[in-house]
Structure 1
Amino acid sequence: MLCLSKKENYTSKAEEISNEMQIPKKFLMKILKQLEKAGLLKLKRGVSGGVKLVKKPKDITLYDVIVAIEKAITLNRCVINREICNLSSQCPVHPIWFKVRNKLIEALKEINFLSLLTQDVTT
């Protein structure tokens, strides 16, 4: 997503993304398919094919991408399914996981790909 955000018309070839981001092409294609399924990009196969963002980088957040790949934001599995842990009803940390998770989700929703491109990474 970051690589595509930098490209003219937000379009690139999978091979270029693979090289630039140092991701094996086979693994990249799996990621791209998940992102396409989530409606974040479009894959076009064939000689004139490529990968294109469906939205502008300012309209795509880190939250969108993480949920597209991971399906949920989790810090601890009991946050998603309380029944996994026999101690969740008496655990003093359990409610903290919910608060931390919610703050993380808020922060991830505030970070879009345009901001990632324009921030100073040296600080």
Structure 2
Amino acid sequence: MGGGNPAFFSWCRILLAATLAGAAAAAAGEVPSPARQAELWALLRQDCGSCHGLTLRGGLGPPLRPEALSGKDPQSLAATILYGRPGTAMPPWSRFLSEDEAAWLVRRLLEAGPDER
């Protein structure tokens, strides 16, 4: 497993904190305002699209289409958005997004891609 690797333990702590925070955010269920939703979709298309492809069908990063995300844990997806993936090109977005906003983006991505908005 991770052995004595500090990066592994750091990632486990981040994932645990994100899972607990994600559960609280899901319980709160706050929905961003319509104006913020538009900003989030723009961020998804432009910033996420720079690595995941402009149509989110994959690029440097994996596809973010509903069929590619099907079966994945929504809380883990939100944690990846918020905290990134250490050792990869996936950066953390927690400086720009709240936990509720990350959870909202994940729900939208699982329901329909950005083209269907």
- Calculate the TM-score normalised by the size of structure 1: 0.23
Greater Rg over alpha carbons, structure: 1
Task: Answer 1 or 2: which has greater strand percent.
Answer: 1
- Calculate the TM-score normalised by the size of structure 2: 0.23
